[in-house]
Amino acid sequence: MNLSGIRRGPLVVGERVTLTDSKGRRKSLLLKEGGVWHTTKGAVSHDELIGGPEGVTIKSIGGMQYLVLRPLLSEYMVAMPREAAVIYPKDAAQILMWADIFPGARVMEAGVGSGALSLALLRAIGPDGELHSYERRQEFADVARRNVETFIDGEHPAWRLTVGDLVTELRDDRLDRVILDMLAPWECIEAVGERLEPGGLVCCYVATSTQLGRVADTFRAHGGYTEPHLTETTVRDWHAEGLAIRPGHGTSAHTGFLAISRRLAPGVTAPMRKRRPAPGAYGPDYTGPRPANIPGM
């Protein structure tokens, strides 16, 4: 078992490699003895790679050259089999930093999907941490488990995967961090808040601005959380060759929003926000404190 997923030495049967052509197109291969990858430029034999180092080039029968490397975690996350959409590397990186995932942390995630974020969290918390993952659908959980175990060559000792609804299956374990990647995370903020240590953090990953607003209002209405930090991350590639320096064609724009808030100590209420929201900014279902200096509030 290799908890980091990092491998060294010769390429062996059963591990995954990435082949990249001259145009930057990538193909992920699972090495098999006697295996052959067929392309429009001829076949590539797996046996020519097995036993050799990574970082080499191989030529197909038709003369196309490919660079051979073991996949990075970010590459594996987007190439691995999936039943559900994955959290992409750019958002996973933001979650690890903004949610302050540290070695030994006790982390809970809800909405495992295909296991992409689970891999990133497991690498960050290490063998001494705890990751409690909840997934409603058995088929998603099965794919996630296979993807994680394929990457690390076995079961991770820090990972516990539960199939079921978070609110009904949630254990009483104390938590440092909570990651909610689900359709209605606001329904779980109260429940996870009871398990969070003071100063602990909840990070919600949502797809739409409507969900983002609902999550933010729920944090405020609860009263036991700090003012939520709301972000969106975009990544733009750049082309630089001689004097030709310009934005690249590959841009990763909107994939989701992050709403992050920290748990206050029991009995402590968050201070009232000083900035003035527009009149009517709060919907009829909002039950939290409302600024007294706003007409109609």
Q: Give pLDDT tens digits for 96-135.
A: 999 999 999 999 999 998 999 999 999 999 999 999 999 9
Compute how many other C-beta atoms are within 10 angstroms of the C-beta atom of residue 121: 25
Known binding residue 135? Answer is: yes
- 141, HSE (Cβ side, Cα atoms, 13 Å): 16
- Quick one: pLDDT at residue 295? 42
Known binding residue 21? Answer is: no
Position 297 confidence tier, pLDDT thresholds 50, 70, 90:
very low
Domain range summary for the chain, segments of one domain joined by +: 16-71, 75-262
Pick the CATH number of 75-262 from 3.40.50.150, 3.40.50.970, 3.40.718.10, 3.40.50.300: 3.40.50.150
Q: Which has more confidence, 50 or 297?
A: 50
Position 293 confidence tier, pLDDT thresholds 50, 70, 90:
very low
Percent with pLDDT over 90 in the chain: 66
Known binding residue 165? Answer is: yes
Phi, psi dihedral angles at 135 (to 5 degrees)? -140, 130
Q: What gap in Å lies between CA 153 and CA 220, rounded to an integer?
A: 43
Q: Which has more confidence, 217 or 276?
A: 217
CB 78 within 8 Å of CB 53:
no
- Integer angstrom CA distances of residue 24 from 21, 77, 159, 241: 5, 18, 35, 15
257-262 and 196-206 beta bridge pairing: antiparallel
Residues 141-149 have a mean pLDDT of 94
DSSP state for residue 33 in the 8-state scheme: T
Q: Give pLDDT tens digits for 166-210.
A: 888 888 889 999 999 999 999 999 999 999 999 999 999 999 999
- Quick one: pLDDT at residue 274? 67
Q: Give pLDDT tens digits for 13-43.
A: 988 899 999 888 888 888 999 999 998 888 9
- Quick one: pLDDT at residue 296? 45
- Quick one: pLDDT at residue 282? 67
Cβ neighbours for 53, distance < 8 A, ≥ 6 positions apart? 9, 10, 11
159-163 and 130-135 beta bridge pairing: parallel
CB 258 within 8 Å of CB 91:
yes
Residues 239-259 have a mean pLDDT of 88
For residue 143, which of 182, 115, 111 has the smallest C-alpha distance? 115
CB 64 within 8 Å of CB 42:
yes
Structure tokens that stand for 174 in this block: 């104390």
Known binding residue 100? Answer is: no
- Any idea which residue has 């296979």 for tokens? 146
- Quick one: pLDDT at residue 103? 96
- Quick one: pLDDT at residue 283? 65
Q: Which has more confidence, 36 or 270?
A: 36
Position 72 confidence tier, pLDDT thresholds 50, 70, 90:
very high
Known binding residue 142? Answer is: no
Q: Is the pLDDT of residue 287 over 70?
A: no
Hey, what CATH topology would domain 16-71 get?
Vcp-like ATPase; Chain A, domain 2 (3.10.330)
Mean pLDDT (the chain) is 89
For residue 269, which of 291, 288, 294, 292 has the smallest C-alpha distance? 288
Q: Give pLDDT tens digits for 187-197.
A: 999 999 999 99
Question: What is the value of pTM for the model shown?
Answer: 0.86
- Quick one: pLDDT at residue 224? 94
Known binding residue 164? Answer is: no
Known binding residue 114? Answer is: yes
- Quick one: pLDDT at residue 286? 60
